[in-house]
Amino acid sequence: MTLESALRIVPDFPKTGIEFLDISPILSQPKLFYQLVQEMTIACQPYDFNKIVAIESRGFILGAALAHATNKGMVMVRKKGKLPGKTVQMTYDLEYGTDTIEMLPDSLQSGEKVLVLDDVLATGGTAKASCELIKKLGGDITACLFFIELSFLKGREKLQTPVESLIIK
């Protein structure tokens, strides 16, 4: 079984007309999850980084596994109000309104080399905002890595960094 064939498609989630790609079947099968981590490890080898910045929430699962496999640190990008203490924020536009993401101000050192990681690259709004937030904290983004890229939504075009995706749809 391939990673792509193991994805579960959930119609009309989170809203009508969207086909949600669920990674849960991969996470629940040790051999597939191991394969996914191995493929992510290979995909990030060309890049010099010492921290993985993982985007909420499935990105945390992949980010923790990849950080362990590569012996790197991991930093979380969370939605507003989910991190304790003082945070640094970035507000960005969505299709219907705005959203805000946050990081802890001491999570990155100035000049620290970062790999941005999430499960899916769709329109690129959250990934772009995450990159802007990392730059605001002085981080140096070497690449963005995604398990799945929905190329028809052209999210890659919003990112000004190398982009690696394991599955492109």
Catalytic residue annotation: 58, 95
Bridge partners of 148, per DSSP, are 120, 167
Report the 10 Å Cβ neighbour count for 84: 6
Report the 10 Å Cβ neighbour count for 93: 11
Beta-sheet pairing, 163-168 with 8-11: unpaired
| Alpha carbon 78 to its chain's center | 11
For the chain, the straight-line distance linking the first and the last C-alpha, in angstroms and rounded, comes to: 18
